[in-house]
Amino acid sequence: MGRGLGNGTLVPHPDFEPVSVRGIDVMLACGGDGRWLIEYRVDGTDDLITPEPAQARRTEELWKHTCFELFIRPEEGDGYYEFNFSPSGEWAAYRFKAYRAFMTDMPLITPAIEWWGGEMRAAVDLSGLPDGDWCVGVTAVIEEAGGKRSFWSLAHPPGKPDFHHEACFAFEVPAAMRA
C-alpha cells in the first residue's frame, strides 16, 4: 500500500471506562491513488462483542455497537467526512457541511473490511475527497459484556464523548504525504 501516514494509540473517554479492552492501536497508510488502509488493533478482547458477519453494505447506526471510525476535515471550510467500519463488514460514509449539520450520505465504493481476533483492517477509496491538507480523527466505539460501551479517540474534548468535535481531529495529514 504506498506511504505510511502514521501510527497512534486511541484512549478511552474517561467517563466510559472499558471492561477488558486495554488499548487500541491504529495505523494509517495510503497509496498515491487515493486508497487508504486503516488498521485497528484491539488489546484485551475477552469481553468484546462484535456484530455477526454480514453482507458488505451501507448501513445506518453502526456506532450503536462495536464500530471503527475515520473522520476527515479538509483544511479549507467547515465541512468534514465520517466513515464507519463494522467488524461485520457493514459500513457507512457521510458528508457534513458544518459541525453535526447538513449530513448527507457520501457516495463511496464499498470498502474492503476484514476482522480477525481483535484486528480490523479497512481499505477505502478516498480519492473523491478534496485536495489540500487534512485534519484526521481516528475513533472507535467498543461494545463489551453487558452492552457496556466505551468511546476511544486520539484525543477527547471536555464533557461527553463527541467524535465530531474539533479536538478529535488530532492528526494532521499534509497533501504531500498522500501523493
113-122, pLDDT tens digit by residue?
999 989 999 9
Calculate the dihedral angle through the C-alpha atoms of 14, 18, 21, 25, rounding to the nearest 10 degrees: -30
How far is the C-alpha of 129 from the C-alpha of 86, rounded, in Å?
22
- Count of domains in the chain? 1
Record the pTM. Answer: 0.94
Where residue 9 sits, what CATH number does that domain have?
A: 2.60.40.1190
Residue ranges making up the domain that contains 80: 3-178
79/36 Cα distance (integer angstroms): 20
The percent of residues above 70 in pLDDT, for the chain, comes to 96
pLDDT in tens, 69-112: 999 999 888 899 999 999 999 999 999 999 999 999 999 999 99
